[in-house]
Amino acid sequence: MRKKLKSIAGLIIVLLIFAYLLRNIVVNWQQIKSFTWEINAIPLIASFLLFASTQLFAVWVWRQLLLTFGHRLEFKKLFVIWWLSAMGRYLPGKVWQLVGLAVLGEKEGVPAEVTTAASIMSQALAVLAGAVISVPILATKGQNFLVSSVVFVLVLAVMIYPPIFRKWVNFAGKKFRGIEIPVYLDMLQIGQFLLLYGVIWVGYGLGFALFVAGLTGSKIFAIYVSIYAFSYIVGLLAIFVPGGFGVREGLMTMFLSGQFGEGVASAISVAARLWVTLVEVLFFLIALYLKARKQDEKIQGGSRN
């Protein structure tokens, strides 16, 4: 009953935020029509390719994380596991992707608790790295940047200290999946993974910047990297909202409205979600094809025997 109420609450939040965004588009339709849209295929194609390559790099980083748990799988198998389960993030509850990873990973010989632990740790590291990348955009919204930065660095240093890192990652594991997560990373490895996830955020952010440039002709601003990272991790942490739907777009609209106006910013944010989803659907279909092909090969191999 409690889970059902959380799912309903998440759905209501998504609907309310998207209603707000659509209202912005409708109310400001004249502004959107009169805006000088400068559609350019080159940055749009570059954006698509950068999002796609960053997604592939993210799977590789997850593979490196699995290695710390003593499990090695070839990249193609991990790609199939990751993308067949990825669409679960859009279902209410935010656990279906983890469930999919656990079930599919177990079929490839990786225990369910290992894939779940690696996935939760992956999200924890991604949030920390995203928080670092988000500092510039947060600085534009607050005062005393130097003081805030020093406090932030100190908090981050405490959070990545291995004994403390182990405790709060374990708390997340018990809270969301009821499992204890063995953390084998030392300080150097945690730093290395934070750097890798930082590269992922930069890839996503530049992809977003290229997308905006491809629609509006605007220059590619580094601040878009921070906007994307902050919007994404807040959506990720909004546990009642499937896939961060609405939360991410609402924050993007807030940050972009000063440059483009509320209506145009809302349209860009919604379009960006559709653009990224297009990449995800493509990879999902490729994963389906690879899995079907593997099953056909098994059937053909069995018939020969």
The answer to whether residue 70 sits within a structural domain is yes
Structural domain boundaries enclosing 81: 40-249+278-299
The answer to whether residue 30 sits within a structural domain is no
The answer to whether residue 139 sits within a structural domain is yes
DSSP the chain: -HHHHHHHHHHHHHHHHHHHHHHHHHHTHHHHHHS-----HHHHHHHHHHHHHHHHHHHHHHHHHHHTTT----HHHHHHHHHHHHGGGGSTTS-HHHHHHHHHHHHTT--HHHHHHHHHHHHHHHHHHHHHHHHHHHHHTSS-HHHHHHHHHHHHHHHTSHHHHHHHHHHHHHHHTS--------HHHHHHHHHHHHHHHHHHHHHHHHHHHHHH-----THHHHHHHHHHHHHHH-TTSGGGTTHHHHHHHHHHHHHH-HHHHHHHHHHHHHHHHHHHHHHHHHHHHHHHHHHHHHHHHHHH-
The answer to whether residue 214 sits within a structural domain is yes
Per-residue model confidence as pLDDT tens for the chain (305 residues): 555 555 555 556 556 655 656 665 666 667 677 788 888 999 999 999 999 999 999 999 999 988 888 888 888 888 988 988 887 776 655 566 777 787 888 888 888 888 888 888 888 888 888 888 887 776 655 555 566 666 666 777 777 777 788 777 777 666 666 666 777 778 888 889 999 999 999 999 999 999 999 999 888 777 889 899 988 888 877 766 665 667 788 888 888 988 888 888 888 988 998 899 899 989 999 999 988 887 766 666 655 55
The answer to whether residue 224 sits within a structural domain is yes
Number of domains in the chain: 1
The answer to whether residue 267 sits within a structural domain is no
The answer to whether residue 91 sits within a structural domain is yes
The answer to whether residue 22 sits within a structural domain is no
